[in-house]
Amino acid sequence: MSIVVHTIHGRQYAYVSRREGKRMIQTYLGPMSRPDVQAAVDGLSEEKGIPERLRRLFWDTDPESLDLSRHATAIIERVLEMGDLQDVRWLQHRYTGTTIAQVLTLSKGLSPRSRVFWNLWFGREVPCAF
């Protein structure tokens, strides 16, 4: 799950984006000028750290120092490379499908085996490696 803020004609509108199966669903929260919408966005945006369950994947770094937005590529790579299905479900709730797909396409940190597996899993075309 992630927060999306669209600017239309100079006004900002908030949405919650989440994945349901292969579809991305955006739920309209309202204009950012409303205090209740701003409070909801602030509450949903407070999740900054790695959940306790995923800390085992980040043995070589301090999980407290990882920012979910700034270190998105490294977090997605690590979860796809070494995580289990429950970890990937968390990943799908935290990051948009587009972000995960970009990492799958551009990342040099994924093994070829993991890249092919996750491309198949997410229903994406598998690029020829030969």
Domain co-membership, 73 together with 95 = yes
Domain co-membership, 96 together with 69 = yes
Domain co-membership, 83 together with 100 = yes
Among 116, 56, 110, residue whose Cα is nearest residue 87: 56
Mean per-residue pLDDT over the chain, rounded: 85
Q: Which of 9, 28, 46 is the last residue of a domain?
A: 46
Higher pLDDT, 128 or 85: 85
Domain co-membership, 33 together with 58 = no
The torsion angles phi and psi of 51, rounded to 5 degrees, stand at: -60, 155
Domain co-membership, 127 together with 64 = yes
Domain co-membership, 64 together with 116 = yes
Query: Is 0.75 surpassed by the pTM of this model?
Result: no
Residues 88, 80: contact at Cβ < 8 Å? yes
Residue 42: domain span: 1-46
Q: What is the pLDDT of residues 75-106, one digit of tens each?
A: 999 999 999 999 998 888 888 888 898 999 89
pLDDT at 81: 95
Domain co-membership, 5 together with 66 = no
Q: Which of 10, 31, 46 is the last residue of a domain?
A: 46
The rounded percent of the chain whose pLDDT value lies above 90 is 31
* pLDDT for residue 23 is more than 60: yes
Domain co-membership, 31 together with 56 = no
Cα separations in angstroms, 17 against 14, 89, 116: 10, 14, 26
Q: Considering its fold, how many domains does the chain have in total?
A: 2
Domain co-membership, 19 together with 81 = no
Domain co-membership, 9 together with 52 = no
Domain co-membership, 61 together with 40 = no
pLDDT at 1: 64
